[in-house]
Amino acid sequence: MAANVVANARGKKATKTSRTVALWENIKSLAGAILIYLVINTFLIAAYRIPSGSMIPTLLIGDWLFVNKAVYGPHIPFTQTHLPSFSEPKRGEVIVFESPYQADQAAENLDPTPTLVKRMVGMPGDTLYMRAGLLYVNGVPQRQGFGIVSQPTPSTSQPNDVSALFDWQHKIELKQSRFGAAPAQPRLDNWGPLVVPAANYFMMGDNRYESKDSRYWGTVPRENIRGRPSFVYYSYKSGNETDRPLPFITDIRWGRIGTRIH
């Protein structure tokens, strides 16, 4: 009888120990999976959803993108430091970045430094200006290309054609140059010439009359750049484009899935 009691006690202890070991192994596996996810999301690849139409037709509202965070050097969270990069930003590339501080956003209790996606149109040292909606870089008119569908509309030309938010441009604009003088009052499609500061970049949306970009909040420091979108991995109609319930299931844009971003 005593032997049976001892054996039962040992068996219960062994069972308890095995359960503890199994629980610990499960915790380690879960922690390892979370760590791998955090490393990938922080330093290699992240997902981003397009919330506005500022990059139409290149990117549509409801597009979900895979963003290559390693290409420009992964950003170390809570710092202004980047790891070594594979490439430097090039003019014409679509880039994900943290916006410079936007005081008007803060005044409305909105995120003053949102993560944005725009096209980089100006490198450090470039002279930029716009006349009648046509962008010039170092005196060379840029083919509209991706932005050709942009046209002024009543909702954008008034009152956004003139804004106090454009006044920051006076700090870096050229009063006199071979490209002519800067207008006294910058407008949405008539501003500059201005020179992009060192280690900064000028960003614009492809949908130029529907984009709040560097024209409003200034140039983007190199340390604010977070990555380059690679392709659309999911897309569905949203907002005013659809009245279907659960559009992320019922109104998927199958043709956009896998679209590479240029």
Residue numbers annotated as active site: 54, 118
What size, in residues, is the chain?
Answer: 262
Rounded CA Rg of the chain: 26
Q: Identify the residue whose tokens are 């977070």.
A: 226
Helix (DSSP H) and strand (DSSP E) numbers for the chain:
5, 11
- In one-letter notation, the amino acid at residue 75 is H
Taking the C-alpha atoms of residue 235 and residue 60, their distance in angstroms, rounded to an integer, is 8
Peptide bond between residue 159 and the one before it cis (omega within 30 degrees of 0): yes
Alpha-carbon separation of residue 254 from 151, 169, 240, 243 (angstroms): 28, 42, 19, 18
Exposed e or buried b per residue across 199-220, where buried means at least 16 C-beta atoms within 10 angstroms of its C-beta:
ebbbbbbbbbbbbbbbbbbbbb
CB 65 within 8 A of CB 91: no
Taking the C-alpha atoms of residue 30 and residue 152, their distance in angstroms, rounded to an integer, is 52
